Structure 1
Amino acid sequence: MLWGYAAPTVLVIVLLASRQVSSLTAGIAGLAATIPPAVLALPDGQGTMAVLALESGKGAWLAWHAIAVILAGLFFHEVGRIVTRQRGEDAASTEYSHRRLFAACFLLGPFFEAAVGFGVGLVIVVPTLLRLGLAPIWAAVFGLYSQAMVPWGAMAIGSTVGAGLAGLPADVAGVATVAVEVPVLVALLLAFWWLVGRIGARPGLNAILDDVGWLAAICAGLYLTNRYIALESGAIVTCGILLPLRFFRDERPDLAAWQSLIARAAPYLALTGLVLLTRAAEPVEAWLRAASTLQPFADSLGFALLHHVSVLILVVAIGNGLAHGLGARLWREAAVAAWRAAWRPAAVTLVFVVMGRLTGASGMAGAMTETLVAAAGGTAVLASPAMGGLAGFLTGSNVASNAIMMPLQAQIAAHTGHPLTWLAAIQIASGNALTMFSPIRIAMGAALIGQPGGESEIYRRSLPMAAAVAAALFAFAAGVWALAG
């Protein structure tokens, strides 16, 4: 039965690897293939169809949290594009260089993902890379680097959930996750050098040493903030300090350059400030949640109308348009363009999150884990990155990945004697890292460059990134296994 449980996921991977179908088609096929084994996995005596319907509804509700961000984020993007056009600014106002690409990939994108989450870093970085003159497909590929520090995305909501499910203090889980994340970031840097060589910006020795120094500063910042401040502050504090330093070092801006940058960045700064403002004071945050939260399922995430990041994105997008006097025709243009770009990644999100929910709630994931532990014994820890990565890949959500797999990682730790702290950290890092390559993120990137349905080419070009990340995670898991043995 193990292979029957694994078959839907294998089918999705094969379809995506074939490059003959879109992510949406692969997701629909995977969801359809999940239903029969999910029915068989449910305990006898349960109302099968009722349970499947309920769990599908819960999955759809979880997916809505991401879909709302996709819709609002692409509307934000379209309004910004129209405002830029109205100003008469060039689409590519400068040119890309190795230094600018590094700053966008390792600092700018992760900062916004840490502040806002839900793939918003991608929404901001891809247009930035297009403005630098990068070809659209390459902008989508390098835009994936905005997800490089997703363990601290959205103020580390997913990692906090994971730490709680593992029964670990947040600071302990955070420091351990940094230890796993360091080799992941090194692997991503190696892939970055290879990719920039493909677009004609191959770094010399000085540039390589410069990158290593900045990456070391990022890793040190992540450790210090997780160790001495708080888990949720990891990437936003680290990147928030290093990003302006990097801009000053690279661009040597005068007053006019600072003013131009602030004008262009105003919507993004307003969004970040609004997100932080609604989360900085616990009483204010609690009031905003309590006053407006929709929660159709008792054990599901609530959608706070005055607090959810998608609503804040929408507010800033509307404010940006109003500030620049957009008329009714331009508002319609933005809305229509956003919907055309958003419907496909929204549909991809829905089918994959429901598929992940059915896989976990039916008991399929638990049964596969129990079989793995029984067969592999202590070496089951070597499969931990695959488990976390699979959940992140399918759901595109660090919250969902940890919710599905963290209890199973705890079972592996209990049965094999490996330290729970390290298994939890591997789960958080691997589940979050593979959200970078989830069909949900890839479809969103394709939409942002105006090539919906072009996911296969993005996958092909980002393969070195995925391979490097997987190698780093499995190497770390092998080290945990060897030390425990």
Structure 2
Amino acid sequence: MLALAAASPIVVAMTLFLARTKATTMAVYSLLTGVLVAIFFFPTPVGELLRAGAMFGPTILEVLLILFGGVLLSRITAETGAMDRISGWLRQSASNRQAGTVLVIFGLVPFAESVTGFGIGVTVGVPLLMQLGHSVKHSAILSLLGLVAVPWGALGPGTLVAADLAGLSLFDVGVRSALLTLPVVLGAGIAAWLVMRGESPKPGRLLAHLVGAAVLLNAGILVANLLMGTPPAGIIGSLLVLAVHLLSFKMGRSLVPAGRAVAVALLPYAVLTAGLLAARALSSPMEASLLKRTLSSGGIWLIVACLIAQYGSTSLGGGTSGLRARASLAYRSWVPVGIATGGFTILGALLAATGMGRELGAALAGIGAGYLVLGPVVSGLAGFISGSNTAANSMLAATQAQAATSMGSSVLQLVAVSNVTASMATMLAPSRILLAYEMAVIPVAAVPGPDAASPTEGEVTAWIAPRLGILLAVVCTLLGLITWVIH
């Protein structure tokens, strides 16, 4: 009975998702269901709830700030023409649109996600894909497929949570997660090919390009985990993809000199990356505190990047709107995304604090060895609900470790595979799809799309969801079978 009650928020979210309900509605009703279940079936001392609030509260606020900063940066770079200059440079340098698209999916989106996390890769990828001539639907799904480096997003806090709760080393979990990510990147490459093959005159060459870029990204992440540790692995892997593509453009004599205008357009992203990495390196010796978290927060550095994008563009005559006007428009786009993301993240914290996540995991572990196949699927559901592998691991990592121990299986394997599937499932999270949609339909004249009229959120969700759902089901099942075979 308790297990059924614990599963009810997830069931509500899934039901509303299949009914094509808006992400904000899903988040609100799922959270309300979770609160009611907690009150009647999982009463928790107020002190425990306050401690959980102190633990998850800063993370939730940081996530919301990061999302707002990402939306604002996207709007500023679009209106000032910075995104035009970047995408124009890529279009001119790439031998064709296919090369530019692959560069975005397996280079730019994973890079942005690795630096900042929380789906910000989507805010970088969608505008560029729109500029490359893709439709709203294609831009949204291709950018979501680029979320293949989520275990290393924001320098890997979710993977760190999984390692800590399971009593494992971050190095071991990072390396095993990198090994298990190969089916994820290959699946994303094949899915992208299925979306794009009708546009390519040489579909076989397109498939080889996508698969090659996927393998290169995964190899870079694995080697970086082994040589440099887990936190910077996603950044190193995605930079390798970017470097190889730019080198190939240069060898093919298609690489166009960036010039001052492109350099200014890229400056906000360079400052964001360098500032975030430097701040985290310099603050690492500090004791854990609000000051340390603020200095190394992706949200703070995104706001810095927004200021540089806003005022740096004036030297090139970009844009006339003030920062306040752009922030107001960004706020309107951010509100539904913030409600959906915040609601699901709070739900994840509630499941962890009240024991609902542990109850559900324990009940499923009673299945026996078959749970080794279902365990990754369960974590995938948690990632789908929360839109965050950090929240999913907070809910289930300890339970997965206990289940593996009770079955005499490898704790490292089950925890790592759960980390990977929870991360992959964020592609399908309602909050992520909504974010991709909002980025694709921002009403900016400088970012024209090929559609005569922008599709609605429901239409985009209905088109994307089954495609990503099938991909997720296939990869999660495959990873589950691998885990069962290892057992």
Q: TM-score range by the shorter chain?
A: 0.7 to 0.9
Q: Does the alignment pair 1:190 with 2:193? A: no
Counterpart among 60, 64, 69 of residue 63 in structure 1: 60
Q: Does the alignment pair 1:80 with 2:80? A: no
Instruction: Output the CA distance in 2 between the equivalents of 1:482 and 1:89.
Output: 50
Shift of 1:461: 2.3
Counterpart among 332, 340, 346 of residue 324 in structure 2: 332
Shift of 1:327: 9.0
What does the per-residue CA deviation read over 1:121-161, in whole Å, with 9 as the maximum and x for residues that have no partner? 11111111122122223212211133111111111221122
Please tell me the residue identity of whatever aligns with 2:311: L
Is the 1:113–1:121 contact (alpha carbons within 8 Å) kept by the matching residues of 2? yes
What does the per-residue CA deviation read over 1:340-399, in whole Å, with 9 as the maximum and x for residues that have no partner? 11011001112111222222222222122222222x112111221122112211222222
Is the 1:24–1:344 contact (alpha carbons within 8 Å) kept by the matching residues of 2? yes
1:220 aligns with 219
Is the 2:27–2:339 contact (alpha carbons within 8 Å) kept by the matching residues of 1? no
Q: Does the alignment pair 1:9 with 2:10? A: yes
Please tell me the residue identity of whatever aligns with 1:384: G
What does the per-residue CA deviation read over 1:410-431, in whole Å, with 9 as the maximum and x for residues that have no partner? 1110111111110011111011
Shift of 1:480: 2.0
Is the 2:190–2:210 contact (alpha carbons within 8 Å) kept by the matching residues of 1? no
Q: Does the alignment pair 1:477 with 2:487? A: no
Shift of 1:305: 2.9
Please tell me the residue identity of whatever aligns with 2:17: L
Instruction: Output the CA distance in 1 between the equivalents of 2:461 and 2:88.
Output: 21
Counterpart among 385, 392, 399 of residue 394 in structure 1: 385
With over 3 angstroms needed to count, the CA separation of the structure-2 counterparts of 1:60 and 1:437, relative to structure 1, is farther
With over 3 angstroms needed to count, the CA separation of the structure-2 counterparts of 1:155 and 1:364, relative to structure 1, is same
1:306 aligns with 295
Shift of 1:113: 1.1
Is the 1:285–1:307 contact (alpha carbons within 8 Å) kept by the matching residues of 2? no
- Mapping of residues 53-452 of structure 1, within 5 Å: 61-84=58-81, 94=91, 97-197=97-197, 200-201=199-200, 203-250=202-249, 252-253=253-254, 256-257=257-258, 261-281=262-282, 284-287=283-286, 290=289, 292=291, 304-325=293-314, 329-374=321-366, 376-450=367-441
Instruction: Output the CA distance in 2 between the equivalents of 1:426 and 1:477.
Output: 8
Please tell me the residue identity of whatever aligns with 1:324: S
Shift of 1:55: 5.1
Is the 2:217–2:240 contact (alpha carbons within 8 Å) kept by the matching residues of 1? no
Identity %: 22
With over 3 angstroms needed to count, the CA separation of the structure-2 counterparts of 1:13 and 1:120, relative to structure 1, is same
TM-score calculated relative to the size of structure 1: 0.88
Please tell me the residue identity of whatever aligns with 2:303: L
What does the per-residue CA deviation read over 1:37-92, in whole Å, with 9 as the maximum and x for residues that have no partner? 2123325xx557x766775676554322211111111111222122218x996997
TM-score calculated relative to the size of structure 2: 0.87
Q: Which moved more, 1:344-353 or 1:327-336?
A: 327-336
With over 3 angstroms needed to count, the CA separation of the structure-2 counterparts of 1:148 and 1:291, relative to structure 1, is closer
With over 3 angstroms needed to count, the CA separation of the structure-2 counterparts of 1:59 and 1:241, relative to structure 1, is closer
Shift of 1:455: 5.2
With over 3 angstroms needed to count, the CA separation of the structure-2 counterparts of 1:126 and 1:231, relative to structure 1, is same
Please tell me the residue identity of whatever aligns with 2:310: G
Shift of 1:266: 2.0
Please tell me the residue identity of whatever aligns with 2:107: L
What does the per-residue CA deviation read over 1:256-303, in whole Å, with 9 as the maximum and x for residues that have no partner? 34655434322212211111221234xx4445974725xxxxxxxxxx
Instruction: Output the CA distance in 2 between the equivalents of 1:253 and 1:328.
Output: 33
- Which secondary structure state, in structure 2, belongs to the residue aligned with residue 231 of structure 1? coil
Instruction: Output the CA distance in 1 between the equivalents of 2:51 and 2:164.
Output: 25
1:299 aligns with none
Instruction: Output the CA distance in 2 between the equivalents of 1:409 and 1:350.
Output: 25
Instruction: Output the CA distance in 1 between the equivalents of 2:203 and 2:456.
Output: 36
- Which secondary structure state, in structure 1, belongs to the residue aligned with residue 133 of structure 2? coil
With over 3 angstroms needed to count, the CA separation of the structure-2 counterparts of 1:40 and 1:88, relative to structure 1, is closer
Is the 1:289–1:306 contact (alpha carbons within 8 Å) kept by the matching residues of 2? no
